[in-house]
Amino acid sequence: MAAMILRPLSLLCLSAALALAGDGWRNPEKMRVPPVNELDATFKVPEALPPISSVTPSFSPALGDTIGWTDYDYGWGGGSRTMVDTYFPGQPAGSRAQFVFMERNSTLPGTAGRRGLVYVYYDGTRYTVPRAVVPRDRGSTGFGDISVFRSTQAHGLAAVPSHAPPRLSINTFPGDTAGWVAGEIPLPRPASPGDPVSAIRGRSDTLFVVVSGADRSDYWVMRTTDFGTSWRFMDSLAKYVGTGWAADVMHDPPFQVAPNGDLYVFGGATTGGGGNHLPPLGTATTANADRMGYWRSTDQGATWTWNPVILDGSNPLTSKPREFFVCENFGQVDGIVDARGNVHMVFNGYGFDFARPDSAEVFRVLYWNSFMNTWMDLSRDTLNRPPYVTAAFRSGNAIGRPYPTIAIDSTGSHVMAAWSEPQTSAANPVDTTNGVYVYDIWYRFSMHHGGAWVSPVNLTATPNRTELFATFGKEITTTSYGWRLGHLVYLSEARANAGCYDCGEGPRSDSPWMYRTTTAPTGVGYGDELPSNYSLEQNYPNPFNPSTVLSYTLPVSGRVSLKVFNVLGEEVASLVNEEKAAGSYKVNFDGANLASGVYFYTLRAGGFTATKKMLLTK
C-alpha cells in the first residue's frame, strides 16, 4: 500500500513547488510518452537532508574557490563528466553556477555507504552549503552529471543522474538545495552499477540519459518527457559499432544535445587495458581494431549512426609518422558540437613512438574536429615523453596526460581544452608521502574555431598538490568586457592518492573540489583574423596571360604543397613546398614559358586536398 502512494505524494510536492511553471507540472499525464516499451519509475517523497560540510565564501573563481570536500580520490573513469552548468534563468550567462560532485562521509560504515552525491549553488557572491542529491545512507551513490532545463515548465531546474543503481534527481525550483526528488531509472535488463550521463533536449522538457550496464557491454539510451515519472527505452548503441565491441568498454560516455536538436554520444569500442584488438601497426581498419568516435541520432534517439574517428594502431599526426595511437586507458575522451554542427573531440593520446630504439610510450593531448578532419597535438612537444609511465606511480587512471575535457562558446569560434599533466620540475615531481606523481591542470584555447591555439597554460602550478578530474561546463560564456570564460571543476589533493579509492592506499585525507574559471581575450574583429577552414580559391584572373594569382587559407600551421600540372598530369611548377603558419595567402603564378591550354593546381595541407582548373591563353 505504501508503494502505491509514493508517486502521487511526490508529484504533489512537485506540483505545489512549481504551480506557476506550466500546465505540464499540474497535469503530468499530458506529458507522458505513448506506452510503448515504457518502464515506470517510483519516486520518493523529498527529504530534508542535513548539510554535509561548510564551504568557504567566494573570493574569486578566477583564482579558485572550494565548493566541497571529499576523502575519495576518484572523480570518474572514462569520458569527462559535466559537473558544472552555468545557466540560470534571468541572469547573465556565467554569472551563476550549479555544481554536483561526489562526497564521502567517512563516519558512515562501509566503503560504498559513505559515498554521496551533493549539490552546490553559486549566486555570484557566495556558495550554498552542499546538500545531498541522494542520501549517503542509500548505498554506493556514484558519479554525477548535471544538466539545467531551459524550458518554460522547468526553467532553471537541475537534473542530476547518478549510478549504483542509476537514479535521477531533480530540484523543485532553481537553486534549491534541499527539495530534491530522486527516483531510480529503470533499465531494459538488470544492471548495476551503471554510469548514467544526461542531456536535455534543446529548450524542451525532454530529458535523455545514457547508461552503461554492469559489465559495460552496451550503452542504453533512455528518455523521459515527464521529469522521470515514466521512462522509455529508446535504443542500445553497441549494435551500431559492428565487430570488436567487448565487455569493459569506456564508461561515463560524454553526451550532448547539439544546438539543432541532434543527439551525440562520445565514446568507443575499446576493451580496456591490454590492447586485445591492436592490429599490426599501420594496418588498422574499422573491422580489425578498437575504435573511438561518436554516435549521432537525428530522430530523438530512435536510431543512431556510428562515426569512427580514430582507430587502435593508427597514426593520427602526419608530423609524427612513427607514433601510433592506442585506444586504451579507459578511453578517456570528451566531445562537443558547435552551433555550425561541427564536432570537436579531445583524447588522452596514449601511444608508442617507434622512431625511438626503445619504442617508448608517448602521451599527447589529441584534438580533432569534423570540419577540418585533421589532428592536432595540444600538449607541449618537449614533454611528450615524460618519464611518468609506471602504473604503480599513478593516481587512479591518471596515465600520461589524462582526463581531457572540452568546452565551446555559443558561436563555435572559441574552444577550450584542459587536461592533467605530471609535474616535471626537479623540485617535487613525486609525492614523497605516497610515492605517486603530482599532477597539474593545464589548458589551452583557440579563438578560431579550433584552427589555431595559444600556447598551453599551467593553471594550477602547485608543487605540493595534485589536481585531477578536470571537467569543463560545456558552455564558454562572455563577460561584459568581452572576455570568454571557461568554467572548470577539478579535484585538488593535498597528498596524491590520499583518498581511499580501494581502501589500500594508506591514510585518508579530505580533499577539496575546486571551481575555477579560465580566460580567453577577445578583441574587436580579432576572432576573424584567422580562417576557420582550409580553402583553395579560383585563380584570378582566369583566363590569364601570362600571370595569375592563386589564393588559399590555412586554419592551422603545417606543411603546405601547392603545385601546377598540365593535362597529362605532369608537374610544371612547384609554387609552395614548406611549413606555413595559419592564415591567408596569395601566390603569383607566371605562365610565360608555358603553352596555351588548360592547367590544374593542387593544394595539399594536413589532410586537406583540393584541385582547381585554370586556362592560359596567349
The model's pLDDT over 102-159, given as tens digits with 9 standing for 90+, comes to 877 655 555 554 677 889 999 988 899 888 887 665 555 667 889 999 887 788 899 9
Which one, of 466, 461, 477, lies nearest residue 517 by Cα? 477
The model's pLDDT over 212-236, given as tens digits with 9 standing for 90+, comes to 766 667 888 999 998 888 999 999 8
| pLDDT (mean) for 49-78 | 67
CB 139 within 8 A of CB 123: no
Instruction: Please report, rounded to a whole number, the percentage of residues in the chain having pLDDT higher than 70.
Output: 70
**Phi, psi at 546, each rounded to 5°:** -100, 0
Dist. CA 86–CA 96, nearest whole Å: 6
Dist. CA 355–CA 320, nearest whole Å: 9
Q: Where does the pLDDT of residue 93 fall: very low under 50, low under 70, confident under 90, or very high at 90 and above?
A: confident
CB 370 within 8 A of CB 383: no
Domains of the chain: 1-59+67-236 (no CATH), 534-616 (2.60.40.1930)
Please give the single-letter amino acid code of residue 10: S
**Phi, psi at 528, each rounded to 5°:** -105, 5
Dist. CA 473–CA 410, nearest whole Å: 13
Residue 158 grid cell: 537541475
Q: What is the pLDDT of residue 433?
A: 57
Q: Where does the pLDDT of residue 287 fall: very low under 50, low under 70, confident under 90, or very high at 90 and above?
A: low
Mean pLDDT of the chain: 76
Dist. CA 75–CA 409, nearest whole Å: 25
Which one, of 2, 12, 16, 3, lies nearest residue 42 by Cα? 3
Residues 6+ apart with CB under 8 A from 600: 564, 565, 566, 567, 611, 612, 613, 614
Residues 6+ apart with CB under 8 A from 177: 119, 120, 121, 128, 129, 130, 131, 171
Residues 6+ apart with CB under 8 A from 415: 338, 344, 406, 407, 408, 445, 446, 449, 450, 476
